Amino acid sequence: MKQTHKRLEKLSSIMRNEGLDMVALIPGATMRYLTGGVHYVMERPIVLFIPLDEQPVAVIPQLEVPLFKAMQIDLRIVSWTDAEGYDRAFQVGLDMLHPAGKTIGVEGTQMRFFEGEIIRRWAAGATVVAADAQLTPLRMNKDDDEIDALRRAVKISEQALQMTLDAVRVGMSEIELADILEANMKALGSEGTAFKTILHGGRNTALPHSGPLPYLIQGGDPLLIDFGAVYQGYRADITRVVFVGEPGLPFRHFYSVVQAANAAGRAAARPGVAAEAVDIAARSVLIEAGYGELIRHRTGHGIGLEAHEAPNIVEGNKLLLEPGMVFTVEPGIYEMNVLGVRIEDDLLITGEGAESLSTFSRDIIVVPGK
């Protein structure tokens, strides 16, 4: 409850500074962060209204009432049944908050058109705005509890990866091996997968963001594995490339360049440095090695209750890194129909520098596949 109170105070400070009279949230990372409650988006609308200096109001289906009463936040609940429908409940809930003339902030990248229209209908005289940028700082600096959860998610991920590498066999499909990895994470305590596992063999490794395919792993193949466990809602995000049998010299060189870029990115991260400096440090290694045209994505992104959140580690982001920020460093190069290599670690900015929460070997790993 104490942690929840601190987080609500932080939200109130942001709202005052940004001219927001109220914030409306649907189930997702921000609602969980502020309330401790785990809820899901479904066909029945759920909206939590958090006004400045007033008790929040939750407009929810009746079947969700016990879960909302158990949350770590003092609020007023307006519920509705399937037979009644939700319109009257939203009218009553918003009337409690006197929305006329007020500015209501929503997460535009999260809230559906569905909920947005309900709010516009019943918040007569209010201005509804997308407040994603204003709310970004809310979850960006992780507290000790969040960092502990991220550490555990990373530990589960790395243990599961080792178990999975021991199980690699020539003739397995990408889908089969991904299933083994996900089962290992679950057996070790993961609540699920941080995102859809990316696992590719051979020339498919040049696909940066694609789910496992029916391709059968062959001797001599590279394997790109991008995955993460979830612990108390917090998500790891790690990528390693291993080889099924000894890689040739061209593949070794390709790998060594990405390995050096990963090291350069991690070395550049510390308090007071702009987020873009980490991206520039990593990409410069790839460009100087002659692989600039094979870069397909930014160097990293924040992680937490979502697999992708602030801060983005990309050129142009002048945000200064601060203690408590956690993000990925994942340089990669991809030559279509040949090979892709990405080496990804999860970094925590500390008071003195940066700590890599992920420690799985970044050297070339060869698995026998027999």
Q: Are 116 and 157 within one domain?
A: no
Strand pairing class (103-106; 127-130)? parallel
Where does the pLDDT of residue 67 fall: very low under 50, low under 70, confident under 90, or very high at 90 and above?
Answer: very high
Mean pLDDT throughout 109-138? 95
pLDDT digits (tens, 9 = 90+) for 310-360: 999 999 999 999 999 999 999 999 999 899 999 999 999 999 999 999 999
Is the pLDDT reported for residue 216 higher than 90?
yes
What is the pLDDT, as a whole number, of residue 15? 97
Q: Are 239 and 314 within one domain?
A: yes
Burial class (CB in 10 A: 0-12, 13-18, 19+), 28: middle
Cα distance between residue 117 and residue 124, in whole Å: 12
Lateral strand order in the sheet of 76-80: 76-80, 57-61, 47-51, 22-25, 103-106, 127-130
Give the position of tokens 């108390």. Answer: 232
- CATH number of the domain bearing residue 107: 3.40.350.10
Lowest mean pLDDT among 106-110, 129-133, 194-198, 248-252: 248-252
Where does the pLDDT of residue 1 fall: very low under 50, low under 70, confident under 90, or very high at 90 and above?
Answer: low
What's the full length of the chain, in residues? 370
Domain that holds residue 31: 2-138
What is the pLDDT, as a whole number, of residue 88? 95
Cα distance between residue 330 and residue 300, in whole Å: 6
- Number of domains comprising the chain: 2
- CATH number of the domain bearing residue 193: 3.90.230.10
Q: Are 256 and 198 within one domain?
A: yes
Mean pLDDT throughout 147-173? 97
Of residues 213 and 250, more confidence is placed in 213
Q: Are 87 and 150 within one domain?
A: no
pLDDT digits (tens, 9 = 90+) for 75-114: 999 999 999 999 999 999 999 999 999 999 999 999 999 9
Cα distance between residue 183 and residue 177, in whole Å: 10
Q: Are 30 and 161 within one domain?
A: no
Mean pLDDT throughout 59-69? 94
Of residues 213 and 71, more confidence is placed in 213
Q: Are 134 and 150 within one domain?
A: no
What is the pLDDT, as a whole number, of residue 2? 61
Q: Are 49 and 190 within one domain?
A: no
Half-sphere exposure of residue 255: CA atoms within 13 angstroms, side-chain side: 21
Domain boundary at 106, 138, 170, which? 138
Which backbone phi and psi does 292 adopt, to 5 degrees? -55, -35
Where does the pLDDT of residue 73 fall: very low under 50, low under 70, confident under 90, or very high at 90 and above?
Answer: confident
What is the pLDDT, as a whole number, of residue 71? 87
Q: Are 285 and 344 within one domain?
A: yes
Q: Are 166 and 295 within one domain?
A: yes
Mean pLDDT throughout 55-69? 95
Mean of the per-residue pLDDT values of the chain: 96
What is the pLDDT, as a whole number, of residue 5? 85
Q: What does pTM read for this prediction?
A: 0.95
pLDDT digits (tens, 9 = 90+) for 235-292: 999 999 999 999 988 899 999 999 999 999 999 999 999 999 999 999 999 999 999 9
Domain boundary at 138, 169, 192, which? 138
pLDDT digits (tens, 9 = 90+) for 4-40: 889 999 999 999 999 999 999 999 999 999 999 899 9
Q: Are 27 and 175 within one domain?
A: no
Q: Are 97 and 214 within one domain?
A: no
- Cβ 311 vs Cβ 290: under 8 Å: no
Q: Are 183 and 320 within one domain?
A: yes
Domain boundary at 109, 138, 167, which? 138
> How is residue 70 written in tokens?
């158990």
